[in-house]
Amino acid sequence: MLQRLSISNYALIASLSVEFDNGFTVITGETGAGKSILLGALGFVLGNRADSNILLDDTKKCVVEAAFLLVDHKTARPQDNDRLKLFFEENDIDFEDECVIRRELTPQKKSRSFVNDTPVSLQVLKELGAQLVDIHSQHDSLLLCDPDFQLALLDDAASNQESLSEYRKSYKEFTAARNELEALRKKSLSNIGENDYLKFQLDELVKAELQDNEYEELAQRIEILENQEEISRLLNESTMILENSETSVLDGVNALLYNVDKLKKYMSELESMSERLNSVKIELKDICSDLNNLQDDSQDISSLERLQERFDMIQRLMMKHHLNDYPQLLQLREEIRRKVDEFSNIDEIVADKEREVKAMEKALYQKAKELNKRRLSAKAVFEKDVTEVIRQLAMPHGVFEIKCEDIGELASNGTDAVTFMFSANKGYAPENMAKAASGGELSRLMLAIKSIAAKNNYIPTLIFDEIDTGVSGEVASKLGDIMKVMGETLQLVSITHLPQVASKAKNHFFVYKDVVDEKTRSNIRTLTREERIMEIAKMLSNAEVTEEAKRAAEVLIN
């Protein structure tokens, strides 16, 4: 339930705060006083698109804040609390009995939204708003002729929300699988030439017998062979230093070791030095041996040409495929191999996917059948309830029917096509509402349907923006009676110009304009009983308020 709406720097509103109560509330005021501005501000805080011209003072930000009582422990149904709690949990928002939604628009036209002080996206704000408030504008009666809207109303009556959500999830998966199957079929038919080229590429890469790290090892080996002369000279000099010169390092170590072994008989502390010299001698011999081996290995000059040819071949393959390094070439080979393998098994893959899609389609038709069954079960009751209401609204012979046909083709809402049928006159069969109902009749039909749908799809706050346009007299009084009854089970707010409707409300707000500092501002206030009598008397007289109009207004209120 909407508890409070605070608005600052929005259109003609500098700053105001309105406290709302439960039950049936009306908002009245002169044309152009700002009733639509108030509704626009509520739509703004619930996620509607922000008009770039809403800033009253374009140097300050606009802030609209709405407080909702999410959990009324006396009236709320447990399943509705659970639904809201799940939404808050999924979007990582703290759930509390009272929810405060705030939306801001900066002078730079940047919008920010918060739910219980948690920043949220505009999409999340819209989804939450749709669960809290249903705003029906005076132009929305045309929606009643939209087949998707009609189907949604029937689904509400059938309590199909959970089943429909499950169906849509399966339908989305089915559509994706069907698209994948179609792509595989096209690939099977049109990619034969491409596959031949892939096979040629794969054959070329396989014949190359590429090995891991081969490119880097070839480069290193080629570099060694290309610098063979210098490498041989340096290796030769190194071995000469160790063992082949007149004063080789090994000879020096041997002489030093001989002397130390002699001396340790006299100096026991040289025992450890002797061991260390022996270790050095062994290490130097190993180094000398390794250098000799390297010298032998580096003599294979004849292999340079062969290595260079293979290195050039790998480089050509990399250039051909526009690759920057060797690992990418190895990866390309595996990718081409996978594509060739996939194409060679394409018929089997297509057959598997066809079986999968067929099974999904069969299961989906079964779910669609269940939806159809539930819709047909709810249809008769919905038709009866709506017909009863419209006959109260100066259409004593009105008939409302729902045509629900199973067209046998899967769609996002099942296999049903729904059409609302209507006849206002006795002796005439109901026909498509889009053709059969006038503008005034559509408004009454929408109210009738909304009054019944409100019992099926629990949205705690319902707002009507002049839904009573085009009606008057006794019909207007009946409209007011219906709204009053609706206000017993939900919070209903109606913007109206009809005294018969305004008189039935529990709460009455008056929107007006005044001038502050030479500037026009919109404002709102709650009317006392005496003020209500005067306001309804004005609505009755349309001119100077007479005593008769006051008495008539009091009679209406009583």
pLDDT tens digits for 495-533? 998 999 999 999 999 999 988 888 888 999 999 999 999
Hey, which residues does 103 pair with through a beta bridge?
Answer: 64, 113
| For range 30-57, the mean pLDDT | 87
- The CA-based angle 474-444-388, given to 5 degrees, is 85
**pLDDT score of 126:** 92
Give the confidence band of 139 by pLDDT, cuts at 50, 70, 90: low
pLDDT per position as a tens digit, 378-419 = 999 999 999 999 998 888 899 999 999 999 899 999 999 999
Q: Is the pLDDT of residue 340 over 80?
A: no
Helix axes 529-541, 547-557, angle to 10 degrees: 120
CB contact set of 362 (below 8 Å; sequence gap of 6+): none
User: 103 and 111 in contact (C-beta within 8 Å)?
Assistant: yes
pLDDT in tens, 204-252: 888 888 888 888 888 888 887 777 777 777 777 777 776 666 667 877 8
Sketch out the chain's domains with CATH numbers.
1-138+466-527 (3.40.50.300)
Contact 116, 93 (CB under 8 A): yes
The pLDDT assigned to 28 comes to: 92
Q: Is the pLDDT of residue 458 over 70?
A: no
> If you write DSSP's letter for every residue of 109-146 in order, what string do you get?
--EEEEETTEEE-HHHHHHHHHHHEEEE-TTGGGGGG-
User: What local confidence, expressed as pLDDT, does residue 62 receive?
Assistant: 94
461-465 vs 133-136, strand pairing mode = parallel
Read off the pLDDT band of 192 (50, 70, 90): low
Residue 242's pLDDT is: 67
Sign of CA dihedral 194, 195, 196, 200: positive
Q: Poorest-confidence range of 131-140, 210-219, 327-336?
A: 131-140
How far apart, in Å, are the Cα atoms of 313 and each of 205, 215, 219, 318? 11, 10, 13, 9
Among 329, 295, 33, which residue's Cα sits nearest to residue 201? 329
Q: Which of 139-143, 279-283, 362-366 has the lowest mean pLDDT?
A: 139-143
Residue pair 5/41 in contact (Cβ under 8 Å)? The answer is yes
pLDDT bin (cut points 50, 70, 90) of residue 49 is confident
Contact 461, 490 (CB under 8 A): yes
Taking the model in full, what pTM does it have?
A: 0.64
Using CA atoms, how far apart are residues 473 and 313, in angstroms rounded to an integer? 95
SS3 category, 21: coil
Residue 9 clears pLDDT 60, i.e. is over it: yes
Does position 79 have pLDDT exceeding 50, yes or no?
no
Ranges 57-66, 99-108, 256-265: which has the least confidence? 256-265
pLDDT at 201 over 80: yes
d(CA 269, CA 255): 19
